[in-house]
């Protein structure tokens, strides 16, 4: 039986060492982009357009798009709402195309876009992702969005949670130290994930801005079975 390689890339800044046009890449930005994207599709969004900067978001708004954009915790004056997963309510997103301004998440999606398929992963859709990935005959790379090129604890922990599930199947194997590291973090975090995540730098950043109300929600498994995936710079739900 062929075993497919599983790798974890802890920041998009080193993705060129992993990139492979035959691989499936799962982009992970737990606080908050990948959780928000999953929740948007769970609430019926038709399409999400992730954009890296506010200028692009503003241009889309001028063209009539619905836009989610904030910086430093403030919803931008031109935007319809902010970046918390709670902002992507059914009333706002059902059947809609939403432009979503996010820095780390977008950069990760961009660097992975030359690969065979790009999916968005979070605790919200972890079992759905697991089922999909176990069904594919391809190398898999779990790409953590991190923070400005550095490494984020919460993304690494999620990579460990997903790697743990995939490596229980004989289909996948790994000789990647970042997989080992992520699995060990997940082992430490699993018994009480919210306490563990309390020491993440992003937890403190969000708390200082009063934006940490979404953290428990972002760590609850399987609130949805959506599978956001990338098609020419836009995200759709593969699991309709």
E strand or H helix at 6: strand 4-9
Give the CA count within 13 Å in the CB-facing half-sphere of 125. Answer: 32
Q: How far apart are the C-alpha atoms of 92 and 94, rounded to whole Å?
A: 6
The answer to whether the beta carbons of residues 161 and 126 sit under 8 Å apart is: yes
**Looking at 60-185, which runs of residues are DSSP E strands?**
66-68, 70-71, 74-75, 97-101, 117-121, 140-144, 172-173
Asked if 119 and 37 touch (Cβ cutoff 8 Å), the reply is no
Which positions lie near a second copy, rule CB under 8 A?
10-11, 13-14, 16-17, 147-153, 156, 175-178, 180-181, 184-185, 187-188, 199-202, 204
Which CB sits closer to a second copy, 82 or 146? 146
For residues 98, 104, 110, 113, the Cα torsion angle rounded to the nearest 10 degrees is: -90
Compare residues 56 and 183 and give the one whose CB is closer to a second copy: 183
Q: Which is nearer to a second copy, 94 or 187 (CB)?
A: 187
* Smaller CB separation from a second copy, 76 or 156: 156
Of 111, 121, 213, 110, nearest to 158 by C-alpha is 121
Parallel, antiparallel, or unpaired: how do β-strands 24-28 and 117-121 relate?
A: parallel
Choose between 17 and 232: whose C-beta lies nearer to a second copy: 17
- Select 67 or 197, whichever has its Cβ closest to a second copy: 197
């Amino acid at each position: 039986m062929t075993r497919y390689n599983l790798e974890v890339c802890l920041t998009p800044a080193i993705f060129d060492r992993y990139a492979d046009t035959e691989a499936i890449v799962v982009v992970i930005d737990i606080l908050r982009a990948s959780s928000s994207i999953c929740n948007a599709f769970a609430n019926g969004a038709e399409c999400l357009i992730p954009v890296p900067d506010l200028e692009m978001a503003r241009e889309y708004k001028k063209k009539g798009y619905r836009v989610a954009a904030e910086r430093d915790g403030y919803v931008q004056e031109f935007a319809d709402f902010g970046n918390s997963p709670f902002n992507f309510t059914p009333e706002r997103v059902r059947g809609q195309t939403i432009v979503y301004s996010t820095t780390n998440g977008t950069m990760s999606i961009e660097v992975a876009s030359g690969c065979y398929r790009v999916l968005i992963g979070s605790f919200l859709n972890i079992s759905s992702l697991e089922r999909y990935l176990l069904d594919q005959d391809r190398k898999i790379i779990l790409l953590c969005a991190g923070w400005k090129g550095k490494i984020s604890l919460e993304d690494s922990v999620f990579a460990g949670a997903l790697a743990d599930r995939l490596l229980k199947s004989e289909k996948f194997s790994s000789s990647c130290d970042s997989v080992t590291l992520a699995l060990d973090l997940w082992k430490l975090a699993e018994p009480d994930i919210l306490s563990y995540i309390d020491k993440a730098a992003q937890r403190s950043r969000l708390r200082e801005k009063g934006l940490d109300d979404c953290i428990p929600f972002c760590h609850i498994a399987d609130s949805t079975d959506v599978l956001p995936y990338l098609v020419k710079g836009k995200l759709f739900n593969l699991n309709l």
